[in-house]
Structure 1
């Protein structure tokens, strides 16, 4: 009986199995978008409850094996999932709707995350896809143009050089104007933010208004930029990716030209100076035939970029990791300009159980930087100055064809002038060939955190973090170099110098917080956070300089001559015709040593409360107390607070979503934040200095700074109103913000009576205001096989100084350098110059306007007036487009700045005819005034020096720049599947800074200084690369 039952069960199972196979079939179909009917490529189609699945191809078509009665699940990013049961038909077409809830992305805010619909503050997010593919060593420059109100001004085109980040205008005169930078919860030094590997970045949140920045207390006045790095995904298993990029760079040629040999010799003959003075046409032709050097070809080169990165991500049900290793190398566009950077990152997120999560983040960067000498300065070692001042009729080569780095005695007027103008190009070539200026830097940012859900809805958490930087620098002037000839002194017999030092900056942060959140009756949502934070900083530095180097031991401390050594006499002191052999008593080799150390700290506690009703009305309030170690006990503590609210108008019953507007949110906020980074760390203290002759020639201490116990941080209060809208079936998104922020207690030097022995003291005296409007827009024009979107933003900011203290005299604005001045009612960086009125046709002299606007032929600094022209732009922004067809994609980003001005010091010197005897000149001098009646813009020879230019070289530096453009191709998934190795592969070519439209006649209109002078320009770069995933 038992045997029969077994046989019957076996037959039954075989029948069922046969029936199942008989019902399994191939189901095909097309997935389209309900909005426009276009096919959707890349939709996941999975048999529910199994691991069987496929993706739709570029035409939205899929094919999968399934049985009758099974359910197919269709899922796609930003679309509502669809489930359909398999029936008798072999064809199943699906139309998918946009998932409005999916559009409510999570936004990183202060001390947490929040749904976009609940955000009450002005926060803008830049996503990974807009960041990680750009091959730039400085993250801040990648962000330019991608967030409204964010203005990034470059300081140099040197690889790895940072710029100045300004958010919603300058909020300080003498303090740090940049935002607070935070990486994975750790406040970091600006350089650590800039050197972060952009491929590791998941998103960047820009916190703009007072409500968002008040939570960072006395460090948030300039806004806050929060960087969140990438993590693995749960359940993804192990994934490996490799990125390789290689690029070429060329310099952006400025908008001026200098003379050829023939032009320069003719000019010298015309004005009666230099080698060309008195030469015949035949002699000029002969000299020009011998050499007609374009020195740009000697000094500028084609730079390159080489970037290699490997990332490994893992994801189980409880633990995810993200690990990356990268090497970045960039050779600059001039000699001795190079950066090498090695990066490592590891992020781990672990859920030990349903209630306890552990996170850790660690990044380590090591860089080697070779820096060209004196770039951006007036020194003759500047490699961007030399190509334009070097005389064209001088050859750069030795008779054997090798490059000459010493100079040539081409004239009897001053000989070779070894360290002077006549040897301009060779000084630079010699310095860059023989001397060194190097930096080695190690940066570490780490964090370990934990969150424990004590009971339902109540979580406690804490973290410890570190931001560490070790910088080592070295500058060696070799004894045999041209500059070594005058180092330490022209009379010293042993030449050269060795300068070396280090700086170590360690910052530690400890954070603890508790959070309670709950929803009552499905409509009342509350969220409360309380926390405390402790920051500690220790900075120390040391350096030395030694002189008189042994040329066999250069590079080591052993090369330096003993500081007590005296050179033998080099003169006949008694007149007997014999050089005396006794010591002359001069010690040239006394070394210099410097060291410093200081500690800084910050203790804070804060609270945040949020309430939301029915996803329609929301309010948030925060308060923070900060104690700063750099101020006296009287003003150590400060309170910063904010309140903000939102109204999701689209969730009102009366709102008609069927119209053009799909969603609308109104935001309102007010908050205060501080800036403790105004002035130095010791501004509130009395300081003393050692004086070698303080009393009757005796060494002693003298008062160097009077203390001010009333000194405190600057405070910025900001009001913001904004609106966020989605239109046209969520294809268009618009964000509009208006703000007004006022900074009080500005750090300003208060003049003191000379009886105090000091000229001034740091005090909180002034006030200034920034007000403006920001508009951001993106629009999805096409979707499907053809996918096209556009985006753009524009920001207007008005900066105005309201008060400069009781000692301010309106008749005498405070000179601020670079041709600018500080004045009440004007913006920071307002130009204060004598107005240039042209060239007098009668005598070729200069013409100016006096203070009253009358024409005068005399230059006088008392005629300076404040101009409606500033160094910071009134308008900044960017716009771009993303166009794709199946696997091809074209992306472009333009950035711009309008109504910004610069003094063009570069142009001023190449039009200064007083230098024409020994330096090349602009081709504009072909128009030099030569006789009465000449109508021209170039004065007669030596009539007007560049110091008397006034507004002559004050130029509009507005620009429109093609910041980044890329063309890429992603291989189809079916092709990659056949390799059984790759899961994704993308090939691309991209360009940076390829086009710039501007009236500016200098190297780079984006400079962060008001007066430019042969600065290192931002190069043009073309890069090819590929990304692969395994």
Structure 2
């Protein structure tokens, strides 16, 4: 059956449906219950129709439009009747139908607000069985307008606004009812005499994907000319995950997600294809319900882009509850992103949230309990205590000594036992202690981590009437990190409301808010580093559970010792990050006349981030700042107080940033259809937006007394010293700290943030379609900004695109091609700009008064050197694609190829210091990017009770920096080469280098002959001494999955993969030391170290040695000396050599899910609409292909801590 809705609210859709959809079912059925009209009223409405040789389908559309009613009929039946001619003038609808239908062998019935068209079919008098029932979706929501027919006939009806139906059936066996609804899979139910039928329809993935939301328009996927990937909400049901961006890994081609940290609240790195900038952020633009969401804190591009930095503050969608999401569309090419202008250069991710539908209220609950496994030593390639004691024994037996042990802390483990033996001479006690240490195997991961149990809950209620529809939700998430001391609590809420003020006037409201409170360990505490690097022959607690302290040097240039135990540091410090967000929007949609619609929207967003960090005075960290340990009895504290920065109390640090933004959008849409074939659509939008960040960041206040009511201990008044002289004051260092504004990187005075960005934009979107076969689209947008140049021609740089689509499957030469459901070619070309945060103007930074003795005065320095010729960064993109679906949509997918060239990219160049600045921004860079994307979805088996689906997506990307963008010698350092931060022609942005390792020499030392050769220049030497390894970004990435379903059971598995990237192995030598400290653990690779002459033939693991083998940076090249570093060593060169790199190819088993849907016949007895029980395992395994990794997670960055851990989840979804 087929339903066409015609009303003032939906006329626009009727015409577009005729041109664009022409499918077996129409999307307009979703609105069948919005504006109900009594049958006895509209059947008497008068109509006038003059049509010749047109389809019945077209006649019913016109009759419905004039009578403002709905028609329900079987498309195949109507098509069989052929074309008709009708000529009536000002006649009642029922009279027209009475005259038209009988001659075609058809009749009609009035059922509430629906006119049902059917073939004449008489029942014998004894066939009078009546059946009633209710139809719902899988979440228990009633479905109005569902078509119900007897299989093999045209007899049927449709469900009312409550999802209920009544139908008379023949009294005979073998009757089957067929239930159909747009967006749902066809359901067949055998009639066995039941008087009350409860039917559940399940979402049809192919149908649901036919609507694409861009934030400015709602488009039919089959008319789409752009490269857009859609991810549905049911594909994101990954339990125990806080934000939607963490769920997207491997879900769509062209979308690269990297979860670099297991900490709750940590934002992943998100990339949509390749970025068109060197210096700006590479993150995509987030749009929620058509509104741009900005990040809560204006982090620098370097902080956002770097894979060596974890963002715990969160991103634009930190407060968005995944349970509120309806769908996600990833806009990738210029045709799709041009409508967002300069802010969309890195792609756009458009999120659509759930909204209410007409019908009885539905209350739904979704909850899950999640257990995350703590890390174990079996996950890492580390020595046990016996192997570590064996290393210490070799150090002693070879007479290597312990010079480094005494430099940082007193001997531990085997070395401590040995020193005790030398001191007391008790060999038996020594042997006993060594045996205990070999068996100790102290579990530092168990001491510092835990198995975390988390839980999430979400409740929503939705429903409404013809005039008002609503959706309300509230959610709560509690996450405990596996790292002890880490936790996160979040509360979210959302309210979406749609009100029909008139038939042609719709008012929509949207509100949402979130409060997130997270606790972490103090930033000075590196928990993973401690667990990973601490020897298992060293313990944190004694047999009584008391803390065991290490005597550790407070600084490298002083001999004072302080007590250190990481557990004491964790127990006496804390870091808190609180995020609050509130969003509000109101939209008015007004259909002025047929084909003209006006929309106005106002949106407001407010976020607040508060970060505070404190640490008490009884910690090693504070002892370092004091230069003595306050809690040791063997020092004279009074003599050291005058040199102490913090003579008493701890330190409190904090920051607060508030973001406030608003936008006003006015949108005019014009639609014109000519002769049912030509469709013109023009969309003109004007938009003004303003974003302001205010706050204070980066201050540290000494004297903090946490246990004394979170107050500060004041310094003694100067007046008590009489005739004051600075040399008389006890706390000279503190006084100097306050008067000079900071010391040792700690500032008493905060940095004030007060940034305002205003934008004025206009957008034009024009689409033309001919006969639903040929579609052309043109977009243009101009953003006004004073970010670039003093010249007007640089301030308003438009972004534009042109694109086309050819629906080949609509061509007559393919009809009837039943095996081809869709075959379409797409092509687009576009131009867009980027606006990194910089300024063309002379910008000063005020530093206040200087400390000149004779003439103190206010000082400033240049923050930005002027360049009036700065322009937008520009990117031109070509995209070609093909969409296809075959064999009844059993196989569907898309292929895309894209090429981008970016020019005028911002770089810095040196200028003479006489100008007051050493660097200046200019437009001088260029790069090109290639990408190939494949997306496949297949239904291998499709039966009534059993189904098997599979999906696969692949992205191939290549990035090259073009000639003319080479780095300038003297402006980069060796670290830039090693960390992948240079810009060099024919290399990608994230490409990194390594020292060229040769071999071990006959004494077991690593050799780097290229580094010590003779060259014409230091730059040439560097080029010879370094070897290019590869990019940190994968060349190939994607995901695949499979789903098996049988009746109410569903089993699914999902995987992601990346290939072509390179990674560094975790350091073999800690801090560049040639030998481990007595308390340090070592990687198990050291078991295979060089021990005797000739071993260099079998191993590349160097010898244990006391020789630091220092190498001056002048030897490497004085032009490339990193700031503050004078020398390195062979051991550090070895850590950063090509022998310590590996291919990062991997496949990650993301999830395995088993769900069970409770039978409907059981639920109806207890008043429940639907119930689903789910068990899910996540991050089950990572398969790597380079043996050098030896268990290392390829996405793990050593300095960032623990990678993502396995978890087990149980969840329940229930609706009432």
What TM-score range do you get, normalising by the shorter chain? 0.7 to 0.9
1:389, distance to aligned residue in structure 2 (A)? 2.1
The Cα offsets for residues 906-964 of structure 1, whole Å up to 9 and x where unpaired, read as: 44429954333342222222222222111322111246323443223222222110112
Aligned counterpart, 2:479: 330
Asked if 1:967 corresponds to 2:1158, the answer is no
Aligned counterpart, 1:576: none
Aligned counterpart, 1:5: none
Aligned counterpart, 2:528: 384
1:366 to 515, 519, 537: 515
- C-alpha separation in 2, matches of 1:523 and 1:306: 54
Asked if 1:640 corresponds to 2:795, the answer is no
- C-alpha separation in 1, matches of 2:334 and 2:458: 38
Change (3 A) 1:429 1:1002: farther
CA contact (8 A) 1:361 1:447 kept: yes
1:1017 to 1203, 1209, 1213: 1203
CA contact (8 A) 1:911 1:922 kept: no
Q: Which aligned pairs between 1:785-800 and structure 2 lie closer than 5 A?
A: 785-800=945-960
Change (3 A) 1:417 1:670: closer
Aligned counterpart, 2:621: 483
CA contact (8 A) 1:685 1:709 kept: no
Query: Which 10-residue stretch deviates more, 1018-1027 or 486-495?
Result: 486-495
CA contact (8 A) 1:514 1:530 kept: yes
Secondary structure of the residue aligned to 2:986 is coil
Aligned counterpart, 1:214: 338
1:445, distance to aligned residue in structure 2 (A)? 2.3
- Please state which structure has a larger fraction of its residues in strand: 1
Change (3 A) 1:659 1:851: farther
Q: Which aligned pairs between 1:871-1020 and structure 2 lie closer than 5 A?
A: 871-909=1032-1070, 912-934=1073-1095, 935-942=1098-1105, 944-949=1130-1135, 950-979=1137-1166, 981-998=1167-1184, 999=1186, 1000-1001=1189-1190, 1004-1007=1193-1196, 1012-1013=1198-1199, 1015-1020=1201-1206
2:834 to 647, 663, 675: 675
Secondary structure of the residue aligned to 1:690 is strand
Asked if 1:509 corresponds to 2:655, the answer is no
- C-alpha separation in 1, matches of 2:731 and 2:961: 58
Secondary structure of the residue aligned to 2:581 is strand
1:731, distance to aligned residue in structure 2 (A)? 0.5
Quick one: higher RCO (CA 8 Å, sep 6+), 1 or 2?
A: 1
The Cα offsets for residues 57-107 of structure 1, whole Å up to 9 and x where unpaired, read as: xxxxx99754799998732455798999x9x9x9x9xxx9x9999577111
- C-alpha separation in 1, matches of 2:1064 and 2:379: 14
1:1006, distance to aligned residue in structure 2 (A)? 2.8
TM-score (norm 2): 0.73
Aligned counterpart, 1:114: 219
Query: Which 10-residue stretch deviates more, 776-785 or 627-636?
Result: 627-636
1:425, distance to aligned residue in structure 2 (A)? 11
Asked if 1:754 corresponds to 2:913, the answer is yes
1:261, distance to aligned residue in structure 2 (A)? 3.0
Secondary structure of the residue aligned to 1:1018 is coil
The Cα offsets for residues 981-1001 of structure 1, whole Å up to 9 and x where unpaired, read as: 100000011011111112445
Aligned counterpart, 1:586: 733
- C-alpha separation in 1, matches of 2:585 and 2:820: 43
1:458, distance to aligned residue in structure 2 (A)? 0.1
**Gaps spanning 5+ residues in structure 2: where?**
1-122, 136-145, 151-155, 296-314, 403-410, 422-426, 629-639, 739-747, 1110-1129
1:1021, distance to aligned residue in structure 2 (A)? 1.3
Change (3 A) 1:79 1:401: closer
CA contact (8 A) 1:565 1:587 kept: no
Asked if 1:158 corresponds to 2:263, the answer is yes
Query: Which 10-residue stretch deviates more, 198-207 or 655-664?
Result: 655-664
- C-alpha separation in 2, matches of 1:156 and 1:478: 27
The Cα offsets for residues 389-415 of structure 1, whole Å up to 9 and x where unpaired, read as: 22322222245324x1x6146xxxx78
Asked if 1:24 corresponds to 2:128, the answer is yes
CA contact (8 A) 1:48 1:73 kept: no
Aligned counterpart, 2:633: none
Change (3 A) 1:643 1:853: farther
- C-alpha separation in 2, matches of 1:651 and 1:222: 34
Change (3 A) 1:186 1:163: same
Change (3 A) 1:892 1:422: farther
Asked if 1:128 corresponds to 2:233, the answer is yes
Aligned counterpart, 2:549: 407
1:681, distance to aligned residue in structure 2 (A)? 4.8
CA contact (8 A) 1:373 1:383 kept: no
- C-alpha separation in 2, matches of 1:118 and 1:212: 13
CA contact (8 A) 1:602 1:629 kept: no
1:775 to 918, 934, 938: 934
Change (3 A) 1:907 1:955: farther
The Cα offsets for residues 397-455 of structure 1, whole Å up to 9 and x where unpaired, read as: 245324x1x6146xxxx789999999999543222211010011101222111110111
Asked if 1:494 corresponds to 2:630, the answer is no
- C-alpha separation in 2, matches of 1:739 and 1:657: 33
The Cα offsets for residues 861-881 of structure 1, whole Å up to 9 and x where unpaired, read as: 564435151110000100001
Aligned counterpart, 2:248: 143
Secondary structure of the residue aligned to 1:896 is strand
- C-alpha separation in 2, matches of 1:622 and 1:425: 66
Aligned counterpart, 1:460: 598
Q: Which aligned pairs between 1:394-433 and structure 2 lie closer than 5 A?
A: 394-402=538-546, 404=547, 407-408=549-550, 426-433=564-571
Aligned counterpart, 2:766: 609
Asked if 1:470 corresponds to 2:608, the answer is yes
- C-alpha separation in 2, matches of 1:28 and 1:892: 39
Aligned counterpart, 2:328: 204
- C-alpha separation in 1, matches of 2:236 and 2:258: 18
Asked if 1:559 corresponds to 2:712, the answer is yes
- C-alpha separation in 1, matches of 2:683 and 2:1077: 69
Query: Which 10-residue stretch deviates more, 139-148 or 245-254?
Result: 245-254
Asked if 1:245 corresponds to 2:333, the answer is no
2:696 to 542, 553, 563: 542
Change (3 A) 1:194 1:100: closer
- Please state which structure has a larger fraction of its residues in helix: 2
Secondary structure of the residue aligned to 2:292 is strand
1:130, distance to aligned residue in structure 2 (A)? 0.7
- C-alpha separation in 2, matches of 1:392 and 1:472: 38
1:286 to 433, 438, 445: 433
Change (3 A) 1:736 1:81: closer
- C-alpha separation in 2, matches of 1:463 and 1:53: 32
Query: Which 10-residue stretch deviates more, 800-809 or 478-487?
Result: 800-809
Secondary structure of the residue aligned to 2:528 is coil
Asked if 1:232 corresponds to 2:386, the answer is no
Secondary structure of the residue aligned to 1:169 is coil
Secondary structure of the residue aligned to 1:836 is coil
Aligned counterpart, 1:176: 281
1:827 to 980, 988, 1009: 988
The Cα offsets for residues 184-214 of structure 1, whole Å up to 9 and x where unpaired, read as: 1110125232441111000000011110011
- C-alpha separation in 1, matches of 2:560 and 2:254: 47
CA contact (8 A) 1:506 1:538 kept: yes
CA contact (8 A) 1:819 1:833 kept: no
Asked if 1:711 corresponds to 2:855, the answer is no
Change (3 A) 1:146 1:697: farther
Secondary structure of the residue aligned to 1:850 is helix
Report the number of matched residues. Answer: 958
CA contact (8 A) 2:612 2:654 kept: yes
Aligned counterpart, 1:4: none
1:698 to 824, 831, 856: 856
Change (3 A) 1:941 1:322: same
Query: Which 10-residue stretch deviates more, 991-1000 or 457-466?
Result: 991-1000
1:705, distance to aligned residue in structure 2 (A)? 2.7
The CA RMSD measured in Å over matched residues stands at 4.0
Change (3 A) 1:436 1:738: same
CA contact (8 A) 2:937 2:952 kept: yes
1:629, distance to aligned residue in structure 2 (A)? 3.8
Query: Which 10-residue stretch deviates more, 244-253 or 206-215?
Result: 244-253
**Gaps spanning 5+ residues in structure 1: where?**
1-18, 32-41, 56-61, 574-579
- C-alpha separation in 2, matches of 1:394 and 1:144: 39
